[in-house]
Structure 1
Amino acid sequence: MSAIVCISRHSPYGSSLARDALDAVLAAAAFEQDIALLLMDEGVWQAYRHQQASAIEQKELGKNLSALAVFGVEKVYVHERSLTRRGLDRDSLSLNNVQLLNDEATRALLAQARQVLSF
């Protein structure tokens, strides 16, 4: 498991919290920290394949998630129950390298983390 887990719980638009979480993950990765990103609750919308950010004159945050691999962030998780509660599934996500976590696996991930960042 990762030394640092960043939980992103907010939708990609409406506040800066989703972008702040992504910035924190990318900054930690740039300093070669062992970090993972966990999308939960409304945060699962960040990985939604069919975002239409241009309709609200925003840049699409989902595209920025592709930068995670460039920075060496290989541990990207999506809370499965959060996904299904929003009527989404793995095929509706823009990232192919995400791992879906059930509640038990999510608890284990957080329990084993040295630090948890929550946005």
Structure 2
Amino acid sequence: MKKVCIVFRHSPYGTTTTREGIDFALLSASFEQQVSLVFCDEAVLHLLPNQQATLAGSKDYVSVFKAFDLYEIDTVLACKQSLETLGINQHELAIDVQIAEAVAISAALADADEVLVF
């Protein structure tokens, strides 16, 4: 089984980058690849609940995050430093994620057969 790690770095809205990454993750998982996700930098903002994507002219894809379990995407990491920089607490997040230090994120990247950055 191929291990794929997808890293999200960009803030919500304004581009379709994150949506493309999520679509790729779900597609990869449906073909029985082991997918792990990493949210860092401004991408941790995607994890906040009650976003109103339509006001920014985007489609709501954040609700898709709740389908990660159905696709057996078990490893979802959020960068601890990014959360702290943006003043976000773990209990404020819309989905259950693992808060990870840089060392753990580096280990996840090293363990993957393929790493994609969105």
TM over 0.5: yes
| Shift in Å, 1:61 | 2.6
Alignment partner, residue 108 of structure 2 = 109
Spell out structure 1 runs of 4+ moving beyond 6 A.
Answer: none
Distance 2:81 2:61 in 1: 22
Q: Which amino acid aligns with 1:19?
A: R
8 Å contact 2:14–2:56 — kept in the other structure? no
| Shift in Å, 1:58 | 2.9
Q: Which amino acid aligns with 2:102?
A: D
Unaligned ranges ≥5, structure 1: none
Is 1:67 the equivalent of 2:75? Answer: no
Distance 2:87 2:50 in 1: 13
Alignment partner, residue 49 of structure 2 = 49
Alignment partner, residue 29 of structure 2 = 29
Q: Cα deviations across residues 68-112 of structure 1 (Å, max 9, x unaligned)?
A: 11111111111111111111111111002x101101111111112
8 Å contact 2:13–2:56 — kept in the other structure? no
TM-score, normalization: structure 2?
0.91
TM-score, normalization: structure 1?
0.90
Alignment partner, residue 86 of structure 1 = 86
Unaligned ranges ≥5, structure 2: none
Distance 2:44 2:70 in 1: 21
Q: Which amino acid aligns with 2:107?
A: A
Q: Which amino acid aligns with 2:79?
A: H
Distance 1:79 1:58 in 2: 25
Q: Percent identity?
A: 32
Q: Which amino acid aligns with 1:10?
A: H
Q: Which amino acid aligns with 1:46?
A: H
Count residues with an aligned counterpart.
117
Distance 2:12 2:69 in 1: 19
8 Å contact 1:5–1:37 — kept in the other structure? yes
| Shift in Å, 1:52 | 2.3
